[in-house]
């Protein structure tokens, strides 16, 4: 196979334009990156070996999912992905001249004892964990960047159809007090789109979950739910946004 000779002038132009030309005039950026833990195979084997005894023990589940352990791959720790990596994306957005950054993060950023923060740590609490704390640090960096931002803190992500549940928005982990704290991935995607069309130049950070919709008269067709754009538009009229002066370990008392 024969390759054409690369012109040195082209290299000089690439140095002056270090990103693909297709990114020129980009107006918005959506950041969805996150460190992803891997399940420990050893913990799975141990949990399986406990099944016979657990079955014979009253009120005990066959598998205690709390026994399963997770860890991050080397170099893919929350500090590197959720903090350092997101900082670099925010810096890149500024270089591109992006006006609006939407950052998908997570609820629970004020709870240092959240189980997600324990992933990657050993029994002594040492290791590469604290994913929600690193995420919150990246959020603060975005808030101080001078860019318009929308920071979305979804509850537990589930693979259900979007626009089937009523979206509930609040701030500062108030929604963590709910028994059910999940939301469809599709609804989060719709909120990202709505953030770009409905924010009106305003920066905001909020939590979000989905709520089951009651059927009409106890049966029949479910009540139609508001779309993400309408829900976000209504929320913006409240003037609420996350309080980043609150430090992790400060639980919201809002209801």
Instruction: Specify the DSSP class assigned to residue 110.
Output: T
At residue 46 the predicted structure's pLDDT band, cuts being 50, 70 and 90, is: confident
**Per-residue model confidence (pLDDT) at position 10:** 47
Whole-angstrom CA distances from 46 to 38, 68, 227 are 16, 8, 45
- Model pLDDT for residues 199-241, shown as the tens digit of each residue: 999 999 999 999 998 766 556 666 789 999 999 999 999 999 9
pTM of the model: 0.85
At residue 62 the predicted structure's pLDDT band, cuts being 50, 70 and 90, is: confident
- Model pLDDT for residues 1-27, shown as the tens digit of each residue: 343 444 444 455 556 789 999 999 999
- Model pLDDT for residues 80-102, shown as the tens digit of each residue: 999 999 999 999 999 999 999 99
Instruction: Dump strand ranges (E) for 17-66.
Output: 28-31, 38-39
Catalytic residue among 106, 184, 195, 199: 106
Structure token digits, residue 12: 């000089």
- Mean of per-residue pLDDT scores for the chain: 89
Question: What does the alpha-carbon distance between residue 28 and residue 26 come to, in Å, rounded to a whole number?
Answer: 6
- Model pLDDT for residues 159-203, shown as the tens digit of each residue: 999 999 999 999 999 999 999 999 999 999 999 999 999 999 999
- The values of phi and psi at residue 150, to 5°, are -130, 120
Residue 157 parent element (H or E): strand 156-158
How much of the chain, in percent, has pLDDT values that exceed 70?
Answer: 89
Which of 169, 170, 171, 242 is CA-nearest to residue 203?
242
Catalytic annotation on 184? no
């Amino acid at each position: 196979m024969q390759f054409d000779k690369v012109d040195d002038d082209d290299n000089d132009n690439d140095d002056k334009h270090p990103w693909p030309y297709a990114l020129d005039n980009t107006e918005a950026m959506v950041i969805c990156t996150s460190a992803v833990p891997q399940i420990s195979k050893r913990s799975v084997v141990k949990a399986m070996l406990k099944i016979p005894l657990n079955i014979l023990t009253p009120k005990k589940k066959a598998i205690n999912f709390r026994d399963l352990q997770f860890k991050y791959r080397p170099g893919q720790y929350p500090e590197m992905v959720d903090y350092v990596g997101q900082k670099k994306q925010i810096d890149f957005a500024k270089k591109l001249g992006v006006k609006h950054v939407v950052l998908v993060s997570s609820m629970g950023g004020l709870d240092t004892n959240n189980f997600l923060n324990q992933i990657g740590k050993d029994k002594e609490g040492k290791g590469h964990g604290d994913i929600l704390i690193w995420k919150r640090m990246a959020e603060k960096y975005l808030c101080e960047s001078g860019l318009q931002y929308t920071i979305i803190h979804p509850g537990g992500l589930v693979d259900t159809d979007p626009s089937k549940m009523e979206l509930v928005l609040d701030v500062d982990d108030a929604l963590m007090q709910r028994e059910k704290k999940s939301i469809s991935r599709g609804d989060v995607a719709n909120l990202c789109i709505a953030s770009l069309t409905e924010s009106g130049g305003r920066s905001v950070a909020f939590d979000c979950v989905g709520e089951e919709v009651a059927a009409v008269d106890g049966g029949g067709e479910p009540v139609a739910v508001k779309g993400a754009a309408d829900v976000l538009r209504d929320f913006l009229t409240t003037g609420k946004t996350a309080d980043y002066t609150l430090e992790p370990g400060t639980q919201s008392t809002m209801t």
